[in-house]
């Protein structure tokens, strides 16, 4: 493939959450770095966050009127067949007009109709599965996909082994170089270098249990001299901030959202996190000791499966959601008191990192287009 001789057209479909969207954007950027004249078209679900995040990243996106099936009987479920048929027709039209060389599906509602129609047209398709547990749509589409790029080993349980490429999840470039940013990070967040720093991240919307657990332990953390950099999420920020102020605790820093995640990672001595696919992949590259508290409110409990893939390699600690409020404080204290354990966790999680994931996926895309 000679980037100077041809312009390639790529469709990337899917979204719904940051765990789907940010890897998709990372793939697009890695492709455009190598093939700057290429056209990349995103296809997402109307009303979902990709319709904002993708244009912000500089890419064109088309929306499908597609949504998932609710687990309970609702009027939305009655509309599902009509939305699906409409989405299939629009996907067919987009493919006909855009004439892609390759279609990539990253999961999420929009991924299914686009990959299905591309496969019916005989176009090469690639699935990028972020989680250690494959979703139903990806399992169904895998039969006719040419390649499946995965972030965890042993995904042959869900996909044909001959099609699997163990590439890892693409992440933002700024995450790849946090080691030299600690001094800058401390200054940015106003943190002291001589006291341990905890980082708690529960996603952009927040995690109720993590917030409750930190509220329960914050006075104990203060008494031990710990500093807490705390992403509460926008739904919980006002309540958390009010309780922190009322308690008059020092060294506890609630933030609605942390935009400068590279600096937050650089500052942290220990990270407390949900175990969505993107968070797990980022943390493996960061190489800090991690306590995963998987969300129980996800399909097939896939966050626990993501976390266990690391816990089984002694690369992270696991704290169940229903035990977090009572046990987080003692687990954090035990870890901060044990430098040897922190070093072991840091090295083990680094060993599982895939820093070249985006470039490796681009190589697979090239093979399919050839």
Spatial distance between the Cα atoms of 201 and 273, rounded to a whole number of angstroms? 5
Q: In the chain, which stretches have pLDDT less than 50?
A: 4
Burial classification of residue 322, based on how many CB atoms lie within 10 Å of its CB (0-12 exposed, 13-18 middle, 19 or more buried): exposed
Q: What pLDDT sits at residue 273?
A: 97
Helices (H), the chain: 18-34, 50-56, 75-98, 111-120, 136-141, 182-189, 208-223, 237-247, 261-267, 277-286, 302-311, 324-336, 339-351, 357-369
Strands 227-231, 252-255: pairing is: parallel
Q: Residue 318: how many CB atoms within 10 A of its CB? A: 18
Q: What is the largest distance, in Å, between two alpha-carbon atoms of the chain? A: 65
| Per-residue model confidence (pLDDT) at position 82 | 62
Looking at residue 4, its pLDDT comes to 44
Work out the angle at residue 21's Cα, subtended by the Cα atoms of residues 20 and 23, and round it to the nearest 5 degrees: 75
Nearest CA to 224 among 196, 243, 186, 244? 196
């Amino acid at each position: 493939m000679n980037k100077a001789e041809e312009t390639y057209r790529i469709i990337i479909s899917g979204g719904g959450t940051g765990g789907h969207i940010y890897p998709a954007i990372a793939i697009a950027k890695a492709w455009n770095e190598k093939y700057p004249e290429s056209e990349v078209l995103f296809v997402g679900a109307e009303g979902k966050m990709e319709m904002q995040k993708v244009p912000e990243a500089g890419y064109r996106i088309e929306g499908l009127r597609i949504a998932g099936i609710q687990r309970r009987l609702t009027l939305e479920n009655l509309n599902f067949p009509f939305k699906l048929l409409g989405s299939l027709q629009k996907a067919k039209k987009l493919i006909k007009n855009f004439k892609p060389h390759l279609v990539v599906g990253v999961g999420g509602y929009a991924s299914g109709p686009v990959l299905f129609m591309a496969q019916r047209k005989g176009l090469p398709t690639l699935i990028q599965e972020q989680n250690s547990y494959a979703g139903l749509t990806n399992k169904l589409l895998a039969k006719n996909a040419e390649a499946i790029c995965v972030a965890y080993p042993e995904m042959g349980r869900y996909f044909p082994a001959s099609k699997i490429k163990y590439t890892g999840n693409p992440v933002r470039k700024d995450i790849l170089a946090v080691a030299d940013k600690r001094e800058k990070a401390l200054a940015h967040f106003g943190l002291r270098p001589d006291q341990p720093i905890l980082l708690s991240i529960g996603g952009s919307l927040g995690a109720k249990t993590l917030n409750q657990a930190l509220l329960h332990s914050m006075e104990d953390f203060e008494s031990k001299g710990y500093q807490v950099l705390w992403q509460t999420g926008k739904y919980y920020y006002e309540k958390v901030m009010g309780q922190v102020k009322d308690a008059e605790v020092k060294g506890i820093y609630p933030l609605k959202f942390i935009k400068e995640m590279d600096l937050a990672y650089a500052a942290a001595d220990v990270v407390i996190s949900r175990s969505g696919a993107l968070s797990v992949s980022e943390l493996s590259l960061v190489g800090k000791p991690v306590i995963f508290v998987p969300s129980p409110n996800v399909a097939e409990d896939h966050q626990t499966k993501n976390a266990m893939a690391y816990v089984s390699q002694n690369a992270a600690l696991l704290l169940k959601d229903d035990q977090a409020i009572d046990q987080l404080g003692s687990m954090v204290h035990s870890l901060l008191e044990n430098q040897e354990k922190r070093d072991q966790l840091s090295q083990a999680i680094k060993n599982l990192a895939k820093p070249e994931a985006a470039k490796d996926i681009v190589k697979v895309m090239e093979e399919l287009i050839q």
